[in-house]
Structures are given as structure tokens and as C-alpha cells.
A and B are shown apart, each in its own frame.
Chain A
Amino acid sequence: MHREKTMAVEKIDIIYENLEQLQQSVRSGKEAGPIIDDLFRFIRDIVPFMLEVHSLMQESSDSIPFASANLNTISKTTEMATHQVLDQLDVVSAKLQRLRSDLQEEKSNQARLTLIDEVLKDASDIVYALQFQDITSQKLQHVNDILQAIYERFLTLFRSSLRLRNHSMFANGMLDEMVQDQEKTKEQRLKSDFDRQTEDEIHHTHISQDQIDHYFRRHKGHI
């Protein structure tokens, strides 16, 4: 993957070099022949490169909806499993409460009552441990939002690459430039949308509950 990226960067660098040389040739007023040769060489370079990018974009954008659907399935499955455990804990707790009430009538049952209280506390701890479902669900949702944002950008790039491919290099040169300008503006807008969508909604806990309480006491009267 890293090697592919490096190759792509190298190709871009070569294309830029070609362009610069071409520009310099035009400026220095050399004859048109070498310029046109350079231009054809440049087109030969860029077409396979664009096709490669185009194919990569298509493959990647095709797989994102599947990844997104999988994340949703994981979220739903953990939620269903969590609720099944909660249902069972409700049943166990209700039975223990009933047993506790029955035993409470006789004083000799103190040891059994203590044991029941311990089991009830264990059940309550399990209930609270199931908060993990909400926390993981929020994290999955965040990953999903990022995937969606990337997918939308891929689609936009895909559309613009199709449009550019249909232009002839000479007659539509000016039009290309205009399209690129438009794309640039659109790109900037999408970039800000992308940044907003991928902004980290889930802040990891860096401070403890005690620190939060302390902070509240310290600042409540001052803000």
C-alpha cells in the first residue's frame, strides 16, 4: 500500500516536471514541434495514471456502503444482546426480591438474607457494566460518520474525473480550467463539510469523576 502511494507521488512529480518544462519552452519561444511532442508525452503519462485513480476510487467507494452497513449491524446486534441480558437480570432480581421478602419473616435467616443482598448487588453491577453498549455504539456511529463523509468525497471526485475525461485537451483547455476552478471552490466547501462531519464527537475521558466534581465545586460560582 505504502509502495503504491510512493509510486503515485512519483508519477505526480514527473507530471509536474513535464508541465514546468512545457511552460518554459512556450515562454522562451521555441518552435512548436518539441512542445507538441512534450504535450503528447504528458497526455500518455497522465491517461493511465487517471485511469488507475479512477479505478481505485470506484473500488473504494463501492466498498464503503458495505463497511457502513456492517457497523450498523454490529451496533444493532450488541444492543439486542444487551437487552436480552437486561431482561434476564430483571427476572433474577425479581425472584431474589420475592425470596428475600419470604425469608425476612423468620429471624434465623439472616445469613441467607445477606447472601441474597450480595447477589442483588452483583446483578446491579452487571446492569451498570452494560453501559458499554451505549459507549461502543457511539464510537461505531462516529466511525460510520467518517466513512459516510469519505464516501461522499469519493463520489464527487469520481464524477469530476468522468467529466474531465470527456474533454479534449486543446479545444476545451479553457473550459477545463473553469471546471477546475469550480471544483476547487466545491472542494473547499466539501473539505469544510468533511472536517465538520469527522470532528471527534466522542471525547475520551481524560479526567475522573472526582476531578469533575472538584472542578464543578471550584468553578460553579465563578462562571
Chain B
Amino acid sequence: MEEKRILYVDDSPTMRRIIHNSLQKIGMSQIMEAENGVDALEILQKQDFDMMMTDWNMPEMNGKELVEHVRSIDKYKKMPILMVTTRGMEEDVVTAIKLGVNGYIVKPFTPETLEKKMAEIFSQQ
């Protein structure tokens, strides 16, 4: 897979580590991490990214609010966003689609699911 700049937002250090390792294994080395939505928005103002991956349940600003904010920024209106969350109810998936999320993965997931989902999202760009 072609190298991309990725921002991963999750309050769990364990998940950040697992995702970081997984992304490196599929050839992504430009990975930035944020603990919550507020930190993510600060990073997004300073740097450009090709994709954002975010958890839903987070302190300060959750993933839903973060996606709303990000979609209101002109340069990120079309940036691929992948939601990685424990929330697996149909209503959550619908909410994510309405917010403009490009993909949705429910935890726990396998490395194959993550790789497949990323390839799918980038092939649509």
C-alpha cells in the first residue's frame, strides 16, 4: 500500500500502540497520535494528513464531535475518516455515515480487517 500520512485518535494507550504497530507493518510510517478530539484538532491545524482514524468514546471531545469539527474545515471536507470503536449498534453506524465517515471498524478487529478497510478507503479516493 502506498505510504500515507495518518492521524490516529484514541484515549487508550494500548489501542494507539496496537494500531501504530499494525500501520507500520502495512508500510505506513508517517503516523501521528492524539489522545482526544481537542488534541487532534490542534494537530490538524499544524499539519496535513491523508487520513484520520478515530475512536468514538473519548474524554474532552469524543469521536463524533471531532468528525463534525473536522468536516467543517474546508481542507478536510474530503479527507478519508475511519471510525474504530466498540460501538456496534446499527444506530451508531447510521450516525457515522450521516457525519461523513468513510469506514467503520468495530473493536476487537483483526489485522486483515484493518488492512482491507484501509485499502478499500484509499481505492475510493
Give A contacts to B, CB under 8 Å.
79, 82-83, 86, 90, 124-125, 127-135, 137-138, 201-207, 209, 212, 215-216, 219-220, 223
Q: Is B45 an interface residue (CB 8 A)?
A: no
Residue-wise, chain B 13-37 has the 8 Å CB interface mask toward A (1 for contact) of 1110110011001000000000000
A207 touches B90 (CB 8 A): yes
A128 touches B109 (CB 8 A): yes
B14 touches A83 (CB 8 A): yes
Bound state CA distance, A121 and B86, in angstroms?
Answer: 24
Q: Which residues of B contact A205 (CB under 8 A)?
A: 86, 88-89, 106
Contacts A129-B108, A132-B108 known; A202 to B97 CB distance under 8 Å?
no
| Interface of chain B residues 1 through 20 with chain A (CB within 8 A) | 10, 12-15, 17-18
In the complex, which of the residues B14, B88, B98 contacts A133, with contact meaning CB atoms closer than 8 Å?
B14
In the complex, which of the residues A127, A209, A215 contacts B90, with contact meaning CB atoms closer than 8 Å?
A215
**A contacts with B: majority SS:** helix
Q: Is B92 an interface residue (CB 8 A)?
A: yes
A79 touches B14 (CB 8 A): yes
B12 touches A133 (CB 8 A): yes
Bound state CA distance, A201 and B63, in angstroms?
Answer: 13
B18 touches A215 (CB 8 A): no
Contacts A127-B21, A209-B106 known; A79 to B97 CB distance under 8 Å?
no
A138 touches B86 (CB 8 A): yes
Bound state CA distance, A80 and B93, in angstroms?
Answer: 32
Q: Which residues of B contact A90 (CB under 8 A)?
A: 21
B19 to chain A, nearest CB (A): 10
B116 to chain A, nearest CB (A): 9
B14 touches A134 (CB 8 A): yes
CB-CB nearest in chain B for A132:
B108
CB-CB nearest in chain B for A202:
B86
Q: Which residues of A contact B103 (CB under 8 A)?
A: 216
B108 touches A131 (CB 8 A): yes
Q: Which residues of B contact A204 (CB under 8 A)?
A: 88-89
Bound state CA distance, A207 and B88, in angstroms?
Answer: 6
Q: Which residues of A contact B107 (CB under 8 A)?
A: 131, 134-135
Q: Which residues of B contact A129 (CB under 8 A)?
A: 108
Q: Which residues of B contact A134 (CB under 8 A)?
A: 10, 12, 14-15, 86, 107
Bound state CA distance, A155 and B10, in angstroms?
Answer: 34
CB-CB nearest in chain A for B19:
A131
Bound state CA distance, A131 and B103, in angstroms?
Answer: 19
Q: Which residues of A contact B66 (CB under 8 A)?
A: none
Q: Which residues of B contact A82 (CB under 8 A)?
A: 14
Q: Which residues of A contact B111 (CB under 8 A)?
A: 124, 128
